[in-house]
Structure 1
Amino acid sequence: MVKKIMELITNASVDGDDGILVTALKLLKNQCNLEELEGDYYIQLVNMISLVKVESTKALLIETIVESPDYVTGNEFLDEYVGLLSRGATNVEEAARCLGAFTAAGSTNNEIFLQLAENLDHEFAIEILVSMGRSKWGDVPSHLESFARRVQIAQRIRYRSAVIGAFLLIVHPLCSEYAHISSLSFGYPFTESAVNDWAWVTPKNTEKIVAKKIVTPKEADVLVKLGGLLRSNVNLNLRETKKLYAEFFEDKNPFDVIYTLPE
């Protein structure tokens, strides 16, 4: 399959057909085993970089190249890719995946952090860094300390919203009923998935998220209560779920609770 797609890429490049080129690159990147993208195939793609003029296509090309086993980290591709990001050539999801591939190939988290902080709009940079799911970015120069704090806050909010989203999916009957068709995301398509993944069963399980100020000690106690019931294979009834919900949110707006970090 890789061979046929590479032939398609070659023909599209020669013909200057960007539409076919994009389609072929997406097939290669998302539908093929990129372990096969080595040797002559890899060299062919690298040689195309200077020939591709459409920036979104060039970003897609680099995103594909860096997932090849032949790719060895180098600032040349990273610099060029970040430049493309700064001009809006790709989206957050693809950027996070590509930058993750850069780190897998040898770039450091610190390099990625500094590149994005120095060259991208900060809101866009924060969204990408949070989506990458890394917790340590290395030494940060003094002029970027404020930005680093914003990243940390955003990461905590993301984690907190994921925990509480799963909690809501389990204890709120309407969330349970309509999650699979809702535009709101609770992290899981069905309640059963959230139940099976529920990690907060003992106080020991919640120590880290309390220490990192993802949840308060009181909120952690409620999560553990739910975990105890789930571990006991208890079929939660409406009275129990209402009690857990009330203990957690205390008559506050759930969105205010979700997006307010512990002090």
Structure 2
Amino acid sequence: MRWKREASLAERVSAVNEVFRYLTQDHETEEYLTFFTLLEKMKNIPPLLDFYGEEFVQYLIELLPKIEDKYDRALLIETLVQCFYSCEAVDKSYCLELLDEYMLCVREYAANIDDIIQCLYGFFHAGISKSEAVVKLVENLDSKEYLLRILSRLEIDDSVNVSKDRSEWLAEAKELSSISWRSGIIAQFLLLVHPHVRKYAEVSQITFLYDSYAGVYADCWPRGLLPNRKETLIAANVLSIKEIRILERLDELINTQKKDLDSPEVRKLYDDFFEGKDPFEVIFSLQGKE
């Protein structure tokens, strides 16, 4: 009985992969378009990629050289890289070759930033070092703004080496990464301590990490942030020691003392944090350690 179940599973997998082959046998057809529409969804569903198995991976590898459209190539590579999470071993030389192919797509703006970041982390999982990927990004992208948008989300450390004329870009990317981190933290802070932000966040066109203050409150924020990241936040100038103490006080008031968010003690923390300054100046300015 066990053998029959395994054979049945193999037959199911083979049948699905045969459908994929049918859909992609002719370019510029509705069937071909159907495959890439499905691929956009499938790449983010690991159980499906795992189900399709090695046969699916091999077919994507065979299919890639036949794809001319840059957007389809980018999507296929992104899917292939996500499949690597289920592979026991991935050939490093092929990964580097695939990364080169993906860099051509990135240079042609054939993928959005979120997909690029997800794909790069997939490459890291498959054995490509962050330094190798960053060097290729720097070598391939001429637009400084575009490059910085990507690098700022990769948590670059000092081990990454690039040419001297581009080293300043890495420093700027680190600064942007810290600004992004800082603004996200303060956005959550505002969801709790500012009554207008708390009231209108769900309908505001300003994007917050949580849909409403309820999510922040339910997560007992900032308790999950401070104990493990405090020193890192200070070292990266994301938050000052004074700001850390204000967040610790917020945690004490709402998570330990169970103070209401409209209590004077909680509302006072807004004034303590911004000290009468322009909030946007404070949000988008990295801090010293004091």
TM-score by length of 2: 0.82
Secondary structure of 2:66 counterpart:
coil
Is 2:34 aligned against 1:20? yes
Q: Given the superposition, is the C-alpha separation of residues 10 and 32 from structure 1 closer, same or farther in structure 2, using an over 3 Å criterion?
A: farther
**Cα deviation 1:133-157 (Å, max 9, x = unaligned):** x343623133332011011101100
From 31, 44, 53, the counterpart of 1:30:
44
Q: Aligned pair count?
A: 262
Is 2:242 aligned against 1:227? no
Pairwise mapping of residues 164-179 of structure 1 onto structure 2 (< 5 A)?
A: 164-179=186-201
Could you tell me how far apart the structure 2 residues matched to 1:58 and 1:107 are? Answer: 20
Residue type matched to 1:230 in 2? Answer: I
Q: Given the superposition, is the C-alpha separation of residues 256 and 8 from structure 1 closer, same or farther in structure 2, using an over 3 Å criterion?
A: farther
Q: Which residue of structure 1 aligns with residue 21 of structure 2?
A: 10
TM-score by length of 1: 0.90
Could you tell me how far apart the structure 2 residues matched to 1:203 and 1:163 are? Answer: 11
Q: Given the superposition, is the C-alpha separation of residues 250 and 87 from structure 1 closer, same or farther in structure 2, using an over 3 Å criterion?
A: same
Q: Given the superposition, is the C-alpha separation of residues 207 and 31 from structure 1 closer, same or farther in structure 2, using an over 3 Å criterion?
A: closer
Residue type matched to 1:140 in 2? Answer: N
Q: Given the superposition, is the C-alpha separation of residues 160 and 249 from structure 1 closer, same or farther in structure 2, using an over 3 Å criterion?
A: same
Is 2:72 aligned against 1:72? no
Residue type matched to 1:243 in 2? Answer: K
Q: Which residue of structure 2 aligns with residue 199 of structure 1?
A: 222
| Contact 2:184-2:209 at 8 Å conserved across structures | yes
Q: Which residue of structure 1 aligns with residue 212 of structure 2?
A: 190
Q: Sequence identity, in percent?
A: 28
Larger Rg: 2
Structure 2: give runs of 5+ residues left out of the alignment: 1-11
RMSD: 2.3
Residue type matched to 2:282 in 1? Answer: V
Structure 1: give runs of 5+ residues left out of the alignment: none
From 50, 53, 61, the counterpart of 2:76:
61
Q: Which residue of structure 1 aligns with residue 138 of structure 2?
A: 117
Could you tell me how far apart the structure 1 residues matched to 2:241 and 2:125 are? Answer: 36
Q: CA deviation at 1:227?
A: 1.2
Is 2:169 aligned against 1:144? no
Q: Given the superposition, is the C-alpha separation of residues 6 and 126 from structure 1 closer, same or farther in structure 2, using an over 3 Å criterion?
A: farther
